[in-house]
Structure 1
Amino acid sequence: MADHKDEPVVVIGLGRFGSALALELASRGTEVLAVDSRAKVVQSLAGELTHTVTADCTDMEALRQLGIPDFSKAVVGIGTDIESSILTTSLLVELEIEDIWAKAISRQHGRILDRIGAHHVVFPENDMGERVAHLVSGRMLDYVEVDENHAIAKIKPPRELVGVPLRDTRIRSRYGLTVVSVRTGDAGFTYATPDTVLTYSDVILILGKINDVERFAENN
């Protein structure tokens, strides 16, 4: 498959998630076609995005007129109107869009999107809630699940990791975790190696299974 990294993206549904995504993509230099059925919403973003259109994307002819079949990447940001979300996604699948991302507001909604052919289903509210819960209740500085089984956490190194080379801490064999990066002072993150010696002022990124990451952060 060709590399579509720099190709334009169509974002359908400009609620909080869709509009934030469209603006972020645009700020990164990606060409974005932003579409919503609500003229007022589209007008509010017209000054910030180059291409904004009011259209009903549950209508196949409307999608064709917008040139959607020419896109390789599409995001369905429709959330509360589940019927429109599912129908729009199914039409994008029918148009054979190569990379379809769809927002879901419930697990059942997500399962339907997955079954009709969405390549990626995201749960922004749920994912953010889980992330904030970890930050509020524990000692993590940041936390991101990278798939359904693994997560990366940013933490201050506990006592048992400080002052000795990482190879001697046996963090991988004891906890099933890997220290992938370390930041010292105001410098940026750099790759951690078996010879890396941590200090209490460092910040580290650890990678592992979700349960292992949570257990390590809570108990150290």
Structure 2
Amino acid sequence: MRKKEETAYGVIGLGRFGEALAIMLAQSGKEVIVVDRDESKIKEMRQYTECAFVTENLSAETLKEIGIQNCDVVIICIGEKADVSILITMSVIEMGVPRVIAKAFSPEQGAVLEKIGAEVVYPERDMALRLGKRLLSNSFIDFVSLCDSVEIRQLQAPESLLGRTVEETQMRRKYRLNIIAIVSGDHTEIEVMPDYRLKQGDIIVVIGKAENIDTFVNII
């Protein structure tokens, strides 16, 4: 019997996105239920989790028999078939699962999924944005979008700031950005001191409005 504080996950649909997600969760020691119509994919997943089920019928009744309603988080990874994705998402939400996340391929599909109460992810779009930002900026390494306007980005410390202390960069006053971490070699400092002096190879992690980060990157 799992401990109350542990989180159980359900992954419905084992395309590339669903399979990678399920494997990552299972390898992290999480309890994961996976469901797919493809028997070969389910057989492959059984090396990662005992709770792997093959079924042609993804109805609410079948999902309940599998135990999806006992999960704390369920991710529906059937984005290609919008109608199927929406119906399954509705069923899982009606089962009372606390957190339901659904993959979408279009804004229209995503709008419907949000309307019925799911969190929506756009894997292909998000990967395209991530790659595009990397291509457009030599200093850009990675980012997390917190909402439409706020991001956390990893940036290579620019030449113009090397040798300056965090206080001397005047990031907050000039650009309305906050440095929340500095990666120096194998060490990550999350308690950034004002007198820390930036050096070659440092990576700064900043948080702020995307437009302010873009302004900073363009200026430096």
TM-score, normalization: structure 1? 0.91
Counterpart of 2:185 in 1: which secondary structure? coil
Q: Deviations over 1:41-71 (max 9, x none)?
A: 2223223332210124641110121122222
What is the letter of the counterpart of residue 87 of structure 1? Answer: L
Runs of 4+ in 1 over 6 A off after TM superposition: none
1:70-109 counterparts in 2 under 5 A?
Answer: 70-109=70-109
| 62-71 or 179-188, larger mean C-alpha shift | 179-188
- Contact kept? 2:152, 2:205, Cα under 8 Å: yes
Counterpart of 2:187 in 1: which secondary structure? coil
Q: Distance in 2 between matches of 1:22 and 1:201?
A: 35
| 57-66 or 153-162, larger mean C-alpha shift | 153-162
Counterpart in the other structure of 2:195: 195
- 1:166 is the counterpart of 2:166: yes
Instruction: Please provide the CA RMSD for this pair.
Output: 1.9
- Contact kept? 1:184, 1:202, Cα under 8 Å: yes
1:40-119 counterparts in 2 under 5 A?
Answer: 40-56=40-56, 58-118=58-118
Which blocks of at least 5 consecutive residues in structure 2 are unaligned? Answer: none
Counterpart in the other structure of 2:211: 211
* Aligned CA distance change for structure 1 residues 149 and 37 (closer, same or farther; 3 Å): same
Which blocks of at least 5 consecutive residues in structure 1 are unaligned? Answer: none
Q: Distance in 2 between matches of 1:169 and 1:79?
A: 44
Q: Distance in 1 between matches of 2:186 and 2:46?
A: 38
- Contact kept? 1:57, 1:88, Cα under 8 Å: no
- Contact kept? 2:45, 2:52, Cα under 8 Å: yes
* Aligned CA distance change for structure 1 residues 147 and 12 (closer, same or farther; 3 Å): same
- Contact kept? 1:155, 1:204, Cα under 8 Å: yes
What is the letter of the counterpart of residue 134 of structure 1? Answer: K
Counterpart of 1:135 in 2: which secondary structure? helix
Residue 13 of structure 1: how far off its partner (Å): 0.7
Q: Deviations over 1:75-129 (max 9, x none)?
A: 10111111111000000111111111111111111110000111x2111110111
Counterpart in the other structure of 1:131: 130
Q: Distance in 1 between matches of 2:216 and 2:151?
A: 12
TM-score, normalization: structure 2? 0.91
Residue 26 of structure 1: how far off its partner (Å): 0.6
Q: Percent identity?
A: 30
- Contact kept? 2:142, 2:154, Cα under 8 Å: yes
- 1:18 is the counterpart of 2:18: yes
Between the two proteins, the alignment pairs up a number of residues equal to 217
Q: Deviations over 1:179-220 (max 9, x none)?
A: 111122333344322222212331211111111112222331
- Contact kept? 1:143, 1:152, Cα under 8 Å: yes
What is the letter of the counterpart of residue 218 of structure 1? Answer: N
1:33-44 counterparts in 2 under 5 A?
Answer: 33-44=33-44
Counterpart in the other structure of 2:32: 32
